[in-house]
Structure 1
């Protein structure tokens, strides 16, 4: 009887632990938010008075794109 109860509890536990549905979607949403945050930071820096920070960011992004 105890053995059957432990087996049932283990099966229920494994059902919830092994369920990874939606985990990949959550990762893509998080990645999208990071990209949006970086784009917002760059847009804010570029809209400034042409500061050296904005120029450095634009140059680094252009450099990264050029390496691809």
Structure 2
């Protein structure tokens, strides 16, 4: 009886450990946040130029588009 219970618990545990669907989604979100952070640092560095203003305006448009 104890061996059967341990086998069942082991199968259940490894079923959860092997499921990586949520982890993959989290990795994509983290990658997106890193890209946005890098772009914002670049935009802050060249803020006075027209390139910096363009990047900032496009980032603002993207962020506002997420909420709607």
Render the CA deviation track for 1:4-63: whole Å, top value 9, x for unaligned: 011111011111111111221111111110000000000011015x7xxxxxxxxxxxxx
Match of 2:21, SS state, is coil
Alignment coverage as a number of residue pairs? 49
**Structure with greater proportional helix content:** 2
Q: Structure 1 residue runs of 4+, over 4 Å off?
A: none
Q: Which residue of 1 aligns with 2:18?
A: 18
Q: TM-score, normalised by structure 2?
A: 0.65
CA distance in 2, matches of 1:8, 1:29: 34
State the structure with more CA Rg: 1
**2:28 — aligned with what?**
28
Matched, 1:41 2:41: yes
Equivalent-residue separation in structure 2 for 1:2 and 1:25 (angstroms): 37
Distance 1:35 1:12 in 2: 37
